[in-house]
Structure 1
C-alpha cells in the first residue's frame, strides 16, 4: 500500500509541475503548493469529517494550491493507485469548505477529476489546470437559470447586428424593408432555428449539459450556433467558446460568419492566426485535427479554458480519437450534424473491425450519439431535409440516373469501396481499398468521356447568362479527377471555341496548389475570372469543379445547379453531404448588376438542381441499402508473421546480400550514449537548415498546408544524392525510439514542436484519451488497465495470442503474462483491444 501511495504522489507531483504549479520559489514566482504538514485542520474541522476521515492523514490536507495572493484556491485530494479518486470526494469537499475553496482535484496519479463545488459533479480530466487558468475560471460564476429564462425571439441575432433596427425608417416602411434587410445583411432566425435554441434551453432546465442538433445541410447550422453562442455569453454561462471544424475551408467560413453575426457582442478569431492573443477573444475557431496532432490541445489549453465547446459536423470532427479533444474540456458540449440517426447500423461483433469505410461510418455515428448522451438515437433537436423541403427552405434534387453496363457491376454486396482523400489527414492509412484496380478496370477513356458528355448535354443552364450551370463533380481519386477535368475542358472548347481556354473545368483536390482558395473563389463567383458571357453579370468563369472530398462537408455555394456522382458511394452520410451541396435556394438576380435587365429574366430563382448519378447510388440508398442489416466484415489479412524479418520468405527485392567474402582489416566496438553520435546530430541539423531555407516549403508550412508540404518535402529532399534524407535516417539521428511521420519532422524543423515525443509519451497520451472517453469507474484497476493498454499496442505477439484465443501462451509471454491479464477486470479485456483497433494507429509505435 505504501508503495502505491508513494507512486501516486510522485506522479501527482510531476503533473502539478507540468501545469505550472510550484513547490518552491523560483524566477516564475512564489511557491503556490502547500503540502499536508503545513495545512493542519482544527479539532472541530477534524471532528466534522466523521468516519470517512482517513486516520493516516492526522487532519492534514494532501495538497493545497494557492492563488496569486497566496490564498487557498484548490484542494487536491490524493489517493493510492489502487483506489478510486472518488472515494475521497466527500472528504475533499469538507476540506475545501474548511479552507473556503471552490475547487477540488481528486487524483490517484492515473485518473483525475476536477470539481467546481458550485457546478454539479466531478468531471474526468487528463491534465491539471494551471494557476492562471483556474484564477480566470474563479471569476466565472455561471447561472443556468439565467440561460433558461433568457427570451429568445426571431430577431435575437438581428439585435446584435443592428440593435435599433426596428426604429430605422427602412424597416418601418414595408416596401423598403426587404432592401433594408439585404443592405444591412440582417439575419432572422427561422421558426425551426428558434425551436432548436428553445429546445436547448429546455434541456438545460432538465439538467443536461450535452446537446446534439441534427439539422440537414442548408438549414443554417452556423446561424443556429451563433444564437446558442450569444445565449451562453449573454447570460454569463460561458466566458469563451471553442468552435471545432474538420476542414480548413470551414474554419475560415465559420469565423467570417461569427464576425458578421456577433461582432458587436463578441470577438471571433481563428486560433492559428492569433496564437498569442486567443484569450482576448470570446469565440475561438479551429480544426480538430490541428489540436489533435501531437497532443497540441493539452499543451495549448487547460481543461477550464472553454465553457462551451461546439463541434460542427460532429460525426466527423469528433470521430475516432479526435473525440479526446472534445472531452478534454469541461463544461457544456454541443454537437451539430447533418447525418440522420436512421443511418446508424448494427454490426457483427464476432467479426474483427477493419478499415471498411462503411464500418467506420457506423462507428463514427454511434460515437457521436454516445458522446452527447443520445444512445437511444434521439437527438436534442432534429430538422431533416424533408422538413426543409416541405417548409419551403430547401430543394429536392432531380435525379438523373445515368448508369452504364460497366458501372452497375459495383452494386453487388462486395462492391468496391474507395477512400475519399482527407485534406487534413495526418496519418498514412496504409490501405487503398482496391482504388487502383477500380480505376484500371472501370474507368477507360471511353467511359470517362461518356460520363462527361452526358453531363454537358443534360445539365441545367444558368438562368441569367444561359451558360452551363455551376457544377461539382465527385471523382474516385485525384488521378481520376485530373482525367475528368481534361475531358470536360476538351468538350467545352469544342462547344465554345476560344471562350474558356481550358478554364471551363478545374481540378480541386489536395494535390493542387491553392485548392482551398479555389473552393472559396468558386463560391464567391470569381474562380479564374467572372462575367465570361455577360459583363453585367458576375458568375464564376470556371463552371465545373472536379473534386474528390474537399467540397463535401459544409461547403456553402447556393448557386450550384448540377452535381455529378462519377464514383460509387457506400457511406450514407457522405451521400447526404454531397447531395446537400445543391439543396440551398438562390436568387440569381443578386449577381446581375444592371437593374434594367432584372425584369427581362423570367425565372431568376433556383427551384431545382440535377443530381447526375452514374453508379445508381440513389437506388442503392433508397432501395438496396439495409439500414438495419448486420454488417459482415471481412477478417484482417496479414502478410507476414510478427517475428519474421521478411514475412517468412525471401528478402524483398533490392535487399543487399553479400556474394563475396573479404578480410576484416580492423575490429573495434564502441557503445554510443543516449545523445547519439555527433555525426547523427549534425545530420538532423543539416536537414533542418536545408528545409527551413526553402521558400516554397516555408510558405506551405506557414499557411498550414501540411499535405502539400509533406508531399513537396518528400519529392524535393528525400532520397536525393549527397545526403539521402529519409524518415529512418532522421529517426536514428534524432534518437527517437519509434517511427516518425513526415509531418512530425517538418514541425520539428520549423520549430512548431520543441522535440519528438518518445514512444512511452505517446502511449500515455493515447491512454489518457481512452480514459477521457470511457471514464472507467473501477479506477482501482487503472494501473493494470494501463499496462494492458500499452502492451497490446507494442507487443505484436500479445495481439496474436488474444486474437487466436490461445491464452495459455501468456504463461510464456515475457512482456505481458497471465498474471498481468488476470489483473485486468474482465469487462475491459475485450473493450481495450477493440478501442485500440478502432482508434490507435499502431504504425506510430513501430
Structure 2
C-alpha cells in the first residue's frame, strides 16, 4: 500500500478504523467519525446571514454513549505523525476529554492529559492503540471515580429515539455534574448562558442519577410558574407518572420527581410552609433553577427551603451567578463545575450575535435644571437641582424625551421589519405605560391593524400579562412591541425577539446579562439569527466590563446577623425579600417596581430606605412631569460584535483596515492572493469570519464608493488607499475590450450574461455553477448543454477564471 497516495479519508478508513476495531472499540456505539460539535458562528450579511466553519473532530471515542473520553485527529501520510496534535488538543479542551491522539496512518502520537502516565506524549504503533477498558480505567482513576461510583457514571443518557442528543457543552456539564455527585460532592454550581438549554441539561442530570438509583426523590425549584409548567410539559415529560407539581395544598409523598415554584412552598406564616409537610430527609436531590435570585441571599425565605433539606445534594443552575459583597452563589455552592458563556455560545453558533445602536440624547448628557419656582404639568413645585440621566423617568419625566425614544424605535422598525418582536425595558411600571402610549401614538397604522401591536406587559396588569404567551409564541404575530419594567427580565423564552430597547439605567451586571439573554435565542424556522440592542441610557457600556463574560469571582463578605443584605444596585424583582405579607396577585412598590405573585416586600424601600408599610406617606416620592422641554439626539453610533466576542468600538473603516493588514502584508501580497485564488469568494468568506462586515461597510462608505462597490475595491481602497471602481465600471471595461471574441453561440451568450450578473450581484454568483440554472441562463439552454458549449466542465471553469482575471485587471 502506497500510503503517500492515500487521502486523509482513506487513512481513516484503511488504517485508523481497523486499528481501533482490533483492540475492541465498537464502531457502532463507541466510535463517531467526522463529528461536527459546533454550529459555526453566525455571520450577518446585511439582512442575510451565513455560518462560519463548524469545528469538526475526525474521531470522538466514548466508553458509554455521549461520554467522550478521547479524540483522534487524522492527517494524510504527507504529514508527520504529530502534525494534528495541536488541533486535537484544542478539541479536547472543548470536549473535556483527557486522551488525545494524532495519526498519519503510520501509528499514533498519544498525549495523556491525566498525568498518570510515565510521560505526557508517547508514540504508539497501529497495533498498540489502548482498548476501551484500558482508557476507561485510567479515566476513572483520573477523575477519582471508585468502584461504587462507576455504575452511576456509566448510567446512559436519556434517548428519546428521535435523535435529540445533548450538545457538546451540555454533555460536559452533565458528565461533570454526575461525576461530582457520584464522588459525594453535595453542593454543585452550573453556569450556562441564557438560551443554552439549562433545563434540558438538568433533566439529563436528574434522569441519570434517578435511573442509577443514586438519587430517588428529587425536588426541582423554579421561580416563575410558567417555567415550572414548561419544564413539566417539555423537557421533563419522560418522567411521566413519577412526576408531580407541588401546589399550596397538601402534598402527596408517593411521587419521586417534584416540581415546585419557590413561592408555592414558602411564606411568612407557618401554615404556608408546605415544604415542612415533607420530612427534612425526604429529598436526596434539590435542583435550583435561576439560583442567582432569591435563594442566593443568606436570610431569604427561599434559602430556608435549602436549609430545611440540607442533607440533600443541591445543584444550582444559573446564567448569571450573583457575586457581590452581600450575596454569593459561590459561597453556598462552591466554584462552578462548568461554565459555558454567552461569548462561547455565540462563537460556537448556538446563540445569536448582536449589534448595538447607541443613541445619546442631549438632556441625558447635559442635564436639565428647572427655572426658579417652576412647576410641572400637575402644578407640583419642582425641586431646584440639576436632573440627569439617572433621574429621568424615575424622579423626573420629560414627555418629549419619551416621545423621541418612541419615534426612534418606530423608525428602526419601519426601516427593517415592523413586525419583529421588540421588548422595551423601562425604569418602572409608570414609565412602561407612558412608553406604551407614546408608541401607540407613533404607530396609528399598525394599531388600526391590531390594537395589540403594542402592549404593556408588567406584573400589575392582567390583560398585558395575559399576552405574554402570545408575545413569546413565534406563531402569534401580536403583540409585536412589549413595554415592560422587570417582569420580562428573566424566564421569558422569547425565541423570535429581534430588538431589545434599553431605556432603563442598568447598574446590576446580573440584570444586564439577563436582559441581553432575551435576544440570544436562535430560531431557524422564523429566521431569527441575530438581534439588535437599541440603547438610550448607556447600559451597553457594561459590555466593556471584564465581568460581563468573565468567570464568576467570589467577593462575598459575611456580615453580622443584623446587617442588611440588600445591595444598593439590585432591583426589587431580583431580591425576593421575606419580610411583610405575601403579595395578593401582583403588587407595586412606591416608584412602580414590580413583584411577582407570591413574592413579598421588605419593610424598607431599597432605593430610599423609607418604610413601605404602616405609614401611608412613608417613602412617597414625587415624580415630576414636564411637557415643554425640547430634547434631541446628539449622537448615534452602531457597534458590531467582533469575532473575539467583544464590541468593535473603533470605526468600521479603521477596524477593516486593521483586519485586512493582519492577513495581507501589502497591496502586492493581497493582489497575488486574489489572482491566485481558485474562488475569490473564499478570500471574502475568510475575511468575513475575521469580522469584516461587507454590507455595513459599503453602506458606511456611502457616496465615496458608489452604490455597487466590489469587496475587492473596498479592500484596496480602505486598506491600501487605491482609487475604487464600481462593479458596473469593471463590467463595462470588460465589455469594451471584447475579450470573448474567440467564443461563439451559447458560450459567448453565457459569458456576456455572467458579466451582467457580476454587475448586478458581485463575484459570488458567477463562481457558483448553480447560476446556470437561473434566468437568463436557463433561457439560453439547459445547464449541461451550456457547459458542453465550452467543451465540458474544465473548459467552462477555465473561461470563468479568464473572466475574473479580466474583471480585476483594470484598476488593480
One fold, TM greater than 0.5? no
Comparing both structures, which one devotes a greater share of its residues to strand?
2
User: With structure 1 as the length reference, what TM-score do the two structures score?
Assistant: 0.43
Which has more helix, going by share of residues?
Answer: 1
TM-score, normalised on structure 2?
Answer: 0.45
